[in-house]
Amino acid sequence: MASTTFHCYLVTKDAQGKTKAELAQCALDDLPAGDVLVRVAYSSLNYKDALSASGHPGVTRTFPHVPGIDAAGTVAESRSPDWRVGDEVIVTGHDLGQNTWGGFAEYVRVPAAWVVRKPAGLTLRESMIYGTAGFTAGLSLQALIGHGVTPAAGEIVVTGAGGGVGSLAVALLAKAGYRVVASTGKPAAHELLSRLGAARVVGREEVCDTSEKPLLAPHWAGAVDTVGGRTLATLVRSAQRHGVITACGLVGGTDLPLSVYPFILRGVELVGIDSAECLYDLRRTIWNNLAGAWKPAGLEPLLTEVNLSRIGTHIQEILAGKVTGRVIVKIGI
């Protein structure tokens, strides 16, 4: 039986719009309606969580609120025949941690359709080393494979490789046998990316062409782009014939200065990656792959682990672009 109260990282906003975030104690009745109550063991810190914790209206509109777009734990109560008390589960995506109270708490309550059974090949902790970031990287790898890009096709570039999605994409691609080029603006991340399997590491300027040329010299067999904007446009213009570019980020901007030439003269494919609302069967397949054939060794070096009471400092660091790799949150004070 679940406790009637729980600890959480609660964000409030006053009448003047000032945001306050702090460790708090709430009642289970404060949680939204849902089929499954999960006692959370681990969560992870993503850039979207930091925006939510800062009161960003593009992520979270209703306060008080608990951020955390990822959660892994054990079913505490269930009104669904699909889930029993004691099941170890993962919840990522959908509206968790945006306008539905999320994983920076000892409990979450969610619809049954949001819940995925934790594969046997992962611990709860390992599942949050991946979290939404690793799941997104896995969807990107699946897109490259599904569109026929093999390791023999040539180099695959990963942009924003010092971040969570990028660093895990490097590790997954290298594990799958691809020759990976990691692009990052963080010099301190070079050694880590090499350890994760990058064949070479380049600066972000090498994948950001500011000319107006509709086509650039063909180079990349594929790409995992976490940046967007002119970087994404550069990758599309410099892809090989029938190259595949996956897009999952927008920190570099939302505009895409392109012509149709890469698509009609080289057959380049641009594939959008939606980790929040992907179909359930695909979600389950990706988690099983991450626990099995795709699972890379040696992810601990990219990991920082904190508990719930220390998360505020790391939120400020990720907003300032100072976080490399992954931050996981052990739910406990």
Residues 26-79 have pLDDT tens digits of 999 999 999 999 999 999 999 999 999 999 999 999 999 999 999 999 999 999
Provide the pLDDT for residue 333: 61
- Both ends of the chain: CA-CA distance in Å? 21
The answer to whether 106 and 30 have CB atoms below 8 angstroms apart is no
- CATH superfamily membership of 5-118+299-330: Medium-chain alcohol dehydrogenases, catalytic domain (3.90.180.10)
Residue 79: closest CA among 120, 122, 38, 116:
38
CATH 3.40.50.720, the chain: domain bounds: 132-272
Say what percent of the chain tops pLDDT 70. Answer: 99
- Rounded to 5°, the CA angle 141-266-155 comes to 40
Q: How far is CA 23 from the centre of its chain?
A: 24
259-317 pLDDT, tens per residue? 999 999 999 999 999 999 999 999 999 999 999 999 999 899 999 999 998 999 999 99
The answer to whether 333 and 311 have CB atoms below 8 angstroms apart is no
Provide the pLDDT for residue 17: 85
Q: Tell me what the mean pLDDT of segment 204-216 comes to.
A: 96
Q: Scan for tokens 């972000």, then name that residue.
A: 204
Task: Round to whole Å and give the CA distance between 318 and 327.
Answer: 9
> How many residues in total does the chain contain?
333
Task: Round to whole Å and give the CA distance between 199 and 196.
Answer: 9
CATH 3.90.180.10, the chain: domain bounds: 5-118+299-330
Average pLDDT, the chain: 96
Bond preceding residue 151 cis, omega within 30 of 0: no
What does the DSSP 8-state code read for residue 168? Answer: H
183-199 pLDDT, tens per residue? 999 999 999 999 999 99
Residue 227: closest CA among 161, 314, 319:
161
Q: Scan for tokens 């914790």, then name that residue.
A: 53
Q: In what order do the strands lie in the sheet with 220-225?
A: 200-203, 180-184, 156-158, 220-225, 239-247, 269-272
Neighbours of 164 (CB within 10 A): 28
Of residues 145 and 251, more confidence is placed in: 145
Neighbours of 67 (CB within 10 A): 31
Residue 202: closest CA among 218, 228, 220, 229:
220
Which two structure tokens, joined as six digits, stand for 72? Answer: 């892994």
pLDDT at 2 over 70: no
Neighbours of 19 (CB within 10 A): 16
Instruction: DSSP for 170-189, please give it.
Output: HHHHHHTT--EEEEES-GGG
Amino acid in the structure at residue 198: A
Task: Round to whole Å and give the CA distance between 140 and 287.
Answer: 13
Which two structure tokens, joined as six digits, stand for 40? Answer: 């959370």
Domain 132-272 has CATH 3.40.50.720: yes
